Amino acid sequence: MRNFYSVPLSLAALLLSLGSHAGQEDSAVAVFAGGCFWCTEADFDKLPGVLETTSGYIGGSIENPTYEEVSSGRSGHIEAVQVRFDPRQTSYAKLLEAFWPTIDPVNGNGQFCDNGPQYRSAIFYLDAEQQRLAEASKTALVASGRLQQPIATVIQAATTFYAAEDYHQDYHTKNPLRYSYYRHGCGRDQRLQALWGKSE
């Protein structure tokens, strides 16, 4: 016997699927590395127009790396954050502008208390326009004379981005006390104050 409820339910599922795809088409993606991804994720989550952030790993030589492999430096990956944003509310250029004051651009061997290439700062571009904007942003920062040392933050093409383990996602909201203790203990905001003259 035909189930008369199957047609509207199927239609509803189709519409829901289409709506989901439409939302993705109306968004854009950027990838930034700024040391510990808990902190980078928290910094981007505060920005208007940011729809979603995902902590993960990029730039390495093995597939589906684990946190242990990345943090040990064996995989060649960098801790990074994938940012999905609404181009109608913000822009890639604005994300770049917001990114710089959240990192120590002159440290080429990590960020704050986290040392090693797996914690270095980087901008991973997904297309030629992002590359152009990222390089222009870095050039403008150099020309400003704001920093007294060479900028070590690299700009390179994005490779496969692997989402980190679930317990790393939204860490600043799931574990606010531990996150606050880590961020303060790492000296992140103190260093940002010294570099940029403001506290994040």
Q: In the predicted model, what is the mean pLDDT of residues 15-20?
A: 40
- DSSP assigned state of 119: G
pTM, rounded to two decimals: 0.85
In tens, the pLDDT along 73-94 reads: 989 999 999 999 999 999 999 9
Which residues are CB-contacts of 71 (< 8 A; sequence separation ≥ 6)?
118
Active site residues: 36
Domain that residue 191 falls in:
27-196
Decide if 9 is inside a domain: no
Decide if 6 is inside a domain: no
Decide if 158 is inside a domain: yes
In tens, the pLDDT along 92-136 reads: 999 999 999 999 999 999 999 999 999 999 999 999 999 999 999
Decide if 21 is inside a domain: no
Contact, 58 vs 160, CB < 8 A?
yes
Phi-psi region of 73 (alpha: psi -120 to 50; beta: other; left: phi over 0): left
Decide if 38 is inside a domain: yes
Decide if 3 is inside a domain: no
Dist CA 164 CA 118 (whole Å): 14
In tens, the pLDDT along 145-181 reads: 999 899 999 999 999 999 999 999 999 999 999 999 9
CATH number at residue 47: 3.30.1060.10
Domain count, the chain: 1
The residue assigned the tokens 């790393």 is: 168
Decide if 96 is inside a domain: yes
